[in-house]
Structure 1
Amino acid sequence: MRYRPLGRSGCAVSSLALGTMTFGAESDEAESHAVLDAFVEAGGTLVDTADVYSAGVSEEIIGRWRQARPADVTDAVVLATKGRFPMGSAPNTSGLSRRHLTRALDSSLGRLGVDVVDLYQVHAFDAWTPLEETLRTLDDFVRAGKIHYYGLSNFTGWQLTKAVHVARSLGLAEPVTLQPQYSLLVREVEWEVVPAVLDAGMGMLPWGPLGGGWLSGKYRRDQRPTGATRLGEDPGRGMEAWDRRGTEQTWDVVATVEAVAEERGVSMAEVALSWLTDRPGVTSTILGARTVEQVAANLRAVDLRLDEAERSRLDRASRPRVGDYPYGSLGVSQRERRLDGGRD
């Protein structure tokens, strides 16, 4: 396992993280505990969850796993959770207000069975709540010893940059990480979000690195998924829905990943994970595994380092299609500054 700083902090984490959205939903408690054991035994340290995962059950499963394992095992874990989305139907059971975040964090700490969580992330932006209120609340959590660091999740570039500058202007603790969706099928974050992360000195914890299974090779062109897969059970599920994601470019990317994997003698998942984990700004890539077999297979990506030619092939196949301006060739050239007599 490789280790990297957790964003702008001094805390070291594994370059592959374990996401636990499946715990209590697609993985029962026994399987979830086995997945945690396999991840930690392989040298994994960063475990990511959220209060809304299985309506709190994911956090409870992790809490019971911690109670059942010796301290030298659980002490190695860097524990991350999130709050923002509804945990009830009342008006103040969601958002980034001081009221909701305080209750959400206390509830998460209780379910996890800990006094402090290493990384607390706001799960998405909240247009209703002033950023000053949210950031002061997070700073208070740090000062109170309830969290060590905080991060952002699903923020756009301008939202992240504004949060960093507001925190700095008020002398508050700054966010150390951003958790965005990012993969060979979702590279639009490279237009504004990744530059904002790099400018702020933060680290990224990408989720959805296999595009909801598309990059693992489980789906085939002109064969609608069936059976015990996420899209087999629900073809219209979320951002990875069959009719939404099944574009010509997606199949081009899948074919390129498959070709590189066959040449290397590795799995498609290893190729996709290796490509992402070595992208600029990435601290740790979040694995979503339902079984021990899946997490063990994905952890093999640690040993795979793609060469420049392989990365270039993947880059070309997955480059997002964009208009001329502002992210296309005309917009990019407009922002260039050359010393060969060309226009600034």
Structure 2
Amino acid sequence: MSINTYYTLGKSGLRVSRLALGTMTFGTEWGWGADEETARQLFNTYTEAGGNFIDTADLYTNGTSESWLGKFIYERNLRDRTVIATKFTYNAEPGNPNAGGNGRKNILRAVEGSLKRLGTDYIDLYILHTWDTITPAEEVMRTLNDLVRSGKVRHVGLSDTPAWYAARSQTLAEWRGYEPISTLQLEYSLVERNIEREFIDLGQALGMGVMVWSPLASGLLSGKYKPSEGGSTGEGRLETVKGVSNPAFQKFSDRNWKIVAELEKVAQELDRSMAQVAVNWTANRPGIASVIIGATRLSQLEDNLKALDFTIPAELCDRLESVSRPEAQFPYSFFGDEIQGMIHGGVAVGQQPIGYAPERSIQSTGAGVA
């Protein structure tokens, strides 16, 4: 598999690369990231390799990410070849509660700003960035559907929401004939596997491909933190943002260091970088449609683009699975072999084989809907 192998996203007809380019690093407003010329090199390298799926958000580097992305696409006349995913939710005007959130007023405000910065008249994939805890799914889905009907948006998605909210949103779309959710954008890596409890099955059942962010756990799995060399090199983003409250950057723990140590050993046995192994493992997990890779240096991106050029042997996958397996929690602890055996009378009862029912075989053809 290579970067220029494309798969449909969820149940949609949108064809995307298995590796998406993340542009949260486009701009230096946040104290880290890439300057404009480096960002242009990253964009050009990714697209010249065959990649077509690029992720941004109105939040990223205070809008610089969208503006530069729009400029780079225009410079090379790549709009029709590029699948742009951008996101809304976060407040652009402190003190004004309606300049953020997922209500209709903010969505319609946010989409106009993104279109202007990107220099385009439509967005391929428009994603709710984070659940705001208050806006009903009915309002969100109706507004997103209106944007699709207007031609300003082609497909829609959700990021960082509860599973029940995503399920309700997709059910509303099916019931009312709205544009369905094509993707769930969620954090997933060897050190963050909690979406396996519900989101993977949810995506497969309702036709939403999972689009992964932070497959390198904010740099913890990138190779900058090697236990064999004493841990941190002092260069990683986790060092730069040490002390912030964002949970995405809280990665230092005894459990995670054990995972990093095993990853380093597996990477050495495969003669691959730690980053390549971590991205490869994530991309080949059930239900995963696309993995977002980001970089601040060209060498990082060039390394990540080779992540799908090899296969991790089953024995090494088992070692990574074992060291990173999440602890079973209620009610998921009731879904294992012992309790299920009590339910089914000790007889092995599984789901229908893939392809047995027409709907299962149809779902199995889309990326992330295996």
In which range does the TM-score fall when normalised by the shorter chain?
over 0.9
* 1: CA distance, partners of 2:14 / 2:27: 29
* 2: CA distance, partners of 1:106 / 1:152: 19
Q: Answer yes or no: is 1:154 the counterpart of 2:157.
A: no
* 2: CA distance, partners of 1:342 / 1:111: 56
Amino acid at match of 1:78: V
Q: Could you say which residue in structure 1 is the equivalent of 2:367?
A: none
| Residue range with higher mean Cα deviation, 251-260 or 266-275 | 251-260
Match of 1:115 among 121, 124, 149: 121
Displacement after TM superposition at 1:322 (Å):
3.4
3-state SS of the aligned residue for 1:81?
strand
Amino acid at match of 1:13: V
Counterparts of residues 169-184 of structure 1 (less than 5 Å)? 169-184=175-190
Q: Deviations over 1:49-73 (max 9, x none)?
A: 000001111000111112211x2x4
Q: Could you say which residue in structure 2 is the equivalent of 1:20?
A: 23
Are the structure 2 counterparts of residues 317 and 102 from structure 1 closer, same or farther at C-alpha, using a change threshold of 3 Å?
same
Amino acid at match of 1:18: L
Displacement after TM superposition at 1:321 (Å):
2.1
3-state SS of the aligned residue for 2:156?
strand
Q: Could you say which residue in structure 1 is the equivalent of 2:362?
A: none
Amino acid at match of 1:216: S
Contact 1:226 1:232 survives alignment (8 Å): no
Match of 1:270 among 276, 283, 295: 276
Contact 1:225 1:235 survives alignment (8 Å): no
Q: Could you say which residue in structure 1 is the equivalent of 2:368?
A: none
Counterparts of residues 64-143 of structure 1 (less than 5 Å)? 64-69=71-76, 71=77, 73-89=78-94, 90-143=96-149
Match of 1:7 among 10, 16, 19: 10
Are the structure 2 counterparts of residues 43 and 331 from structure 1 closer, same or farther at C-alpha, using a change threshold of 3 Å?
same
3-state SS of the aligned residue for 1:183?
coil
Displacement after TM superposition at 1:240 (Å):
4.9
Q: Could you say which residue in structure 2 is the equivalent of 1:235?
A: 242
Match of 2:37 among 25, 30, 44: 30
Amino acid at match of 2:38: E
Displacement after TM superposition at 1:285 (Å):
0.2
* 2: CA distance, partners of 1:270 / 1:114: 33
Displacement after TM superposition at 1:192 (Å):
1.1
3-state SS of the aligned residue for 1:185?
coil
Structure 2: which 5+ runs fail to align? 351-370
* 2: CA distance, partners of 1:226 / 1:281: 34
Q: Answer yes or no: is 1:52 the counterpart of 2:55.
A: no
Are the structure 2 counterparts of residues 10 and 343 from structure 1 closer, same or farther at C-alpha, using a change threshold of 3 Å?
closer
Q: Deviations over 1:78-105 (max 9, x none)?
A: 1110001111111100111111101100
Counterparts of residues 162-201 of structure 1 (less than 5 Å)? 162-201=168-207
Contact 2:220 2:238 survives alignment (8 Å): no
Q: How many residues align?
A: 338
| Residue range with higher mean Cα deviation, 4-13 or 142-151 | 4-13
* 2: CA distance, partners of 1:40 / 1:289: 14
Amino acid at match of 1:180: L
Displacement after TM superposition at 1:343 (Å):
11
Displacement after TM superposition at 1:8 (Å):
1.4
Displacement after TM superposition at 1:339 (Å):
5.9
| Residue range with higher mean Cα deviation, 228-237 or 163-172 | 228-237
Identical positions, percent: 38
Structure 1-normalised TM-score? 0.93
Cα-Cα RMSD? 2.0
Q: Deviations over 1:178-218 (max 9, x none)?
A: 00000000011100111111111110110010011111121
* 1: CA distance, partners of 2:115 / 2:231: 42
Q: Answer yes or no: is 1:299 the counterpart of 2:305.
A: yes
Q: Deviations over 1:256-291 (max 9, x none)?
A: 211111111110111111111011111110001111
3-state SS of the aligned residue for 2:64?
helix
Q: Could you say which residue in structure 1 is the equivalent of 2:221?
A: 215
Contact 2:226 2:261 survives alignment (8 Å): no
* 2: CA distance, partners of 1:305 / 1:129: 43
Contact 1:273 1:285 survives alignment (8 Å): yes
Structure 2-normalised TM-score? 0.86
* 2: CA distance, partners of 1:260 / 1:343: 35
Q: Could you say which residue in structure 2 is the equivalent of 1:308?
A: 314
Amino acid at match of 1:297: D
3-state SS of the aligned residue for 2:157?
strand
3-state SS of the aligned residue for 1:21?
coil
* 2: CA distance, partners of 1:160 / 1:130: 11
Q: Answer yes or no: is 1:144 the counterpart of 2:134.
A: no
Structure 1: which 5+ runs fail to align? none
3-state SS of the aligned residue for 1:215?
coil
3-state SS of the aligned residue for 1:47?
strand
Match of 2:254 among 248, 256, 264: 248
* 2: CA distance, partners of 1:314 / 1:147: 39
Amino acid at match of 2:132: D
Q: Could you say which residue in structure 2 is the equivalent of 1:43?
A: 50
| Residue range with higher mean Cα deviation, 212-221 or 128-137 | 212-221
Q: Could you say which residue in structure 1 is the equivalent of 2:339?
A: 334
